[in-house]
Structure 1
Amino acid sequence: IDKFTVQTIVTGNATIVPADSAVVAYGDSLVITVNPAPGHHVDSIVVGGVQNVGPVVSYTLHNVTGPQSVHAFISADQFSIVATAHNGSIIPPGTTIALYGDTVRYQYLPVTAGWHFDSLVIDGVVNTDSTASYAFVGVDSAHSIDAYFSIDKHSVTASAVNGTITPSGVTLVDHNGMQSYSFAPQPGYHFDSLIVDGVPVPDSASSYTFTAVSAPHTITAYFGQNALHHFIVESSVGGPIPNQSVGTSFLIRTRAVDSMGTVLPWFTGTVWFSSSDTTMNVTGGLHSIAFTAGEHGPQNVTLFRNGSHTITVIDSVSGKQGTSAPFTVNAGPLNHFSLTNLSDAPIDTQRQNVPFDVKVTAYDTFNNIKDDYVGTMLFTVPGSSFSVGGGHVPSVPGGVLAPYSLAIADSGDYVISVVDSATLIGVNSNTFVVLPDRFNVIASAVNGTVLPSDTTVVMLGSSFTLNYLPDAGHHFDSVVVDGVTILDSTSSYTFTNVASAHSIEVYYSPDQYTLTVNGVNASTVPNGIVPVTFGTSIRVTYAPVAGHHMDSVVVDGVANVDSLT
Structure 2
Amino acid sequence: AGQNFSLTIRAQDVGGNDVLFSGPVTLTDNTGTLTPTSVTFSNQAFVTISTARIIKAQSNVVINASGSAKPAQSNSFNVTHAALDHFDVTNTSGGNVGSQVAGTNFAIKIVARDAFANIVTSFNSSVTLTNTTASITPTSSGNFTNGELASLTVNITKTSSADAISVSGGTPTRNGSSNNFAVNAGALADFRIANISSPQIAGVAFPLIVTAVDANENTVTGFTGTVSISVTGGGISPNASGNFINGVWNGSVSISNAGAGRIITVSGSGFNQDSNPFTVNAGVLDHFVIDPPITSPQSAGQNFSVTVRAKDVNNNDVLHNGTVTLTDNTGTLTASSLVFANQAVQTITNARITKAQAGVVITASGSGKAVQSNAFTVNPDLLHHFSITNTSGNPIGSQTAGTPFNIRITAQDQFNNTMTGFVQTVTITDLSSPPINITSGAFSAGVLTSQSITILKARTDNQLTVSGGVPPVNGMSSLFNVNPAALDHFTIDPITDQATSAPFTITLRAMDANENIVTSFIGNVSITDLTGTITPTNSGAFIGGVR
TM-score, normalization: structure 1? 0.51
Which among 288, 310, 317 is matched to residue 231 of structure 1? 288
Distance 1:277 1:83 in 2: 47
Deviations 1:41-94, CA, capped at 9 Å, x for gaps: 9814689999966359xxxxxxxxxxxxxxxxxxx9998997623688289x97
1:447 corresponds in structure 2 to: none
Distance 2:393 2:289 in 1: 40
Offset of 1:278 from its aligned partner? 2.7
1:134 corresponds in structure 2 to: none
Please say if 1:303 is aligned against 2:357.
Answer: no
Distance 1:410 1:443 in 2: 17
User: Helix, strand or coil for the counterpart of 2:384?
Assistant: strand
2:407 corresponds in structure 1 to: 358
Offset of 1:244 from its aligned partner? 1.6
2:89 corresponds in structure 1 to: 85
The alignment yields a C-alpha RMSD, in angstroms, of: 6.2
Offset of 1:372 from its aligned partner? 2.9
Offset of 1:432 from its aligned partner? 1.6
Q: 1:373 to 1:159 in 2, by over 3 A?
A: farther
Which among 449, 452, 466 is matched to residue 402 of structure 1? 449
| Alpha-carbon contact 1:228-1:256 (below 8 Å) kept | yes
User: Helix, strand or coil for the counterpart of 2:324?
Assistant: strand
Mapping for residues 368-517 of structure 1, pairs under 5 Å: 368-384=417-433, 392-413=439-460, 414-439=462-487, 457=511, 482=541, 501=545
1:313 corresponds in structure 2 to: 364
User: Helix, strand or coil for the counterpart of 2:445?
Assistant: helix
Please say if 1:115 is aligned against 2:136.
Answer: no
1:146 corresponds in structure 2 to: 177
1:276 corresponds in structure 2 to: 329
The aligned length equals: 393
Deviations 1:298-346, CA, capped at 9 Å, x for gaps: 6653322221311222341xx3332111011222112233323345443
2:302 corresponds in structure 1 to: 248
| Alpha-carbon contact 2:384-2:412 (below 8 Å) kept | yes
Which among 152, 162, 165 is matched to residue 199 of structure 2? 162
Distance 2:115 2:176 in 1: 14
Residue 146 of structure 1 aligns with an amino acid whose one-letter code is S
Distance 2:232 2:341 in 1: 23
Offset of 1:417 from its aligned partner? 0.9
Please say if 1:265 is aligned against 2:318.
Answer: yes
| Alpha-carbon contact 1:335-1:363 (below 8 Å) kept | yes
Unaligned residue ranges in structure 1 (runs of 5+):
23-30, 57-75, 101-108, 126-142, 212-218, 445-452, 470-477, 484-498, 504-565
Distance 2:406 2:342 in 1: 55
Distance 1:77 1:436 in 2: 46
TM-score, normalization: structure 2? 0.52
Distance 1:370 1:356 in 2: 25
Distance 1:338 1:304 in 2: 17
Distance 2:86 2:73 in 1: 34
Higher mean C-alpha deviation, range 192-201 or range 225-234 = 192-201
Distance 1:437 1:481 in 2: 22
| Alpha-carbon contact 2:308-2:346 (below 8 Å) kept | yes
User: Helix, strand or coil for the counterpart of 2:316?
Assistant: coil
Mapping for residues 284-299 of structure 1, pairs under 5 Å: 285=337, 288-290=339-341, 292-293=343-344, 295-297=345-347
Distance 2:490 2:175 in 1: 44
Percent identity of equivalent pairs: 18
Distance 1:416 1:200 in 2: 54
Residue 310 of structure 1 aligns with an amino acid whose one-letter code is V
Distance 1:366 1:90 in 2: 42
1:324 corresponds in structure 2 to: 373
Distance 1:343 1:149 in 2: 30
Unaligned residue ranges in structure 2 (runs of 5+):
1-12, 28-36, 55-60, 99-109, 118-131, 134-155, 186-191, 201-205, 243-247, 256-262, 270-275, 493-506, 529-536
| Alpha-carbon contact 1:15-1:36 (below 8 Å) kept | no
Residue 253 of structure 1 aligns with an amino acid whose one-letter code is T
Residue 85 of structure 1 aligns with an amino acid whose one-letter code is V
1:43 corresponds in structure 2 to: 63
| Alpha-carbon contact 1:241-1:252 (below 8 Å) kept | no
Offset of 1:380 from its aligned partner? 0.4
Q: 1:54 to 1:442 in 2, by over 3 A?
A: farther
The structure richer in strand per residue is 1
1:11 corresponds in structure 2 to: 26
Distance 1:226 1:156 in 2: 24
Please say if 1:206 is aligned against 2:264.
Answer: yes
Distance 1:345 1:258 in 2: 52
Distance 1:47 1:312 in 2: 80
Residue 89 of structure 2 aligns with an amino acid whose one-letter code is A
Distance 2:546 2:166 in 1: 42
Distance 1:51 1:379 in 2: 58
Q: 1:228 to 1:456 in 2, by over 3 A?
A: closer
Deviations 1:471-517, CA, capped at 9 Å, x for gaps: xxxxxxx999749xxxxxxxxxxxxxxx98498xxxxxxxxxxxxxx
Q: 1:381 to 1:78 in 2, by over 3 A?
A: farther
| Alpha-carbon contact 2:193-2:208 (below 8 Å) kept | no
Mapping for residues 326-345 of structure 1, pairs under 5 Å: 326-345=375-394
| Alpha-carbon contact 2:296-2:378 (below 8 Å) kept | no
Residue 443 of structure 2 aligns with an amino acid whose one-letter code is V
Distance 1:458 1:165 in 2: 71
Higher CA-based Rg: 1
Offset of 1:379 from its aligned partner? 0.6
1:32 corresponds in structure 2 to: 46
Q: 1:201 to 1:34 in 2, by over 3 A?
A: farther
User: Helix, strand or coil for the counterpart of 2:331?
Assistant: coil
